[in-house]
């Protein structure tokens, strides 16, 4: 029974580190990411425009770089998921209209 706890202890130890160091938790990483996202002040219209240009594939590098600095990644993901759902629903509707 003593072999299993020692393996667990080794798995928690960072590579090349000592047992005294703590590895940051996933919750701390999420908290830091959400704090960084909260600092970005991009409008909803800017996010929709960036996602629309990304769907078309004609986004310029300078505009992309400014979007990285201004837009909230969580908003981009939310808008992109809504856009994909609308696109798929539109395709399904188009196919049903053509077939009927």
pLDDT digit string (tens) for 31-68? 555 555 556 677 888 899 989 888 888 877 888 888 88
Q: Is pTM beyond 0.85 here?
A: no
How far is C-alpha 41 from the geometric centre of its chain's CA atoms? 17
Q: Give the per-residue pLDDT at 75.
A: 92
Rounded to an integer, what distance in angstroms lies between the CA atom of residue 13 and that of residue 99? 61
Backbone angles phi, psi at 18, to 5 degrees: -100, 175
Categorize the per-residue pLDDT at 85 as very low, low, confident or very high, splitting at 50, 70 and 90. Answer: very high
Q: Which two tokens stand for residue 8?
A: 């667990």
pLDDT at 74: 92
In the prediction, which pLDDT does 66 show?
85
Extract the tokens encoding 65: 């770089």
Contact 13, 19 (CB under 8 A): yes
What percent of the chain has a predicted confidence (pLDDT) above 70? 60
Residue at token pair 């837009």: 71
Angle of CA points 81, 82, 84, to nearest 5°: 65
What is the reported pLDDT for 93? 97
């Amino acid at each position: 029974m003593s072999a299993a706890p020692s393996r667990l202890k080794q798995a928690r130890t960072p590579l090349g580190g000592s047992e005294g160091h703590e590895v940051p938790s996933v919750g701390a990483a999420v908290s830091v990411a959400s704090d960084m996202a909260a600092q970005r002040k991009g409008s909803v219209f800017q996010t929709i425009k960036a996602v629309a240009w990304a769907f078309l594939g004609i986004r310029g590098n300078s505009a992309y770089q400014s979007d990285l600095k201004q837009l909230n990644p969580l908003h981009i993901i939310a808008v992109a998921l809504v856009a994909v759902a609308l696109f798929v629903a539109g395709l399904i509707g188009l196919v049903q209209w053509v077939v009927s």
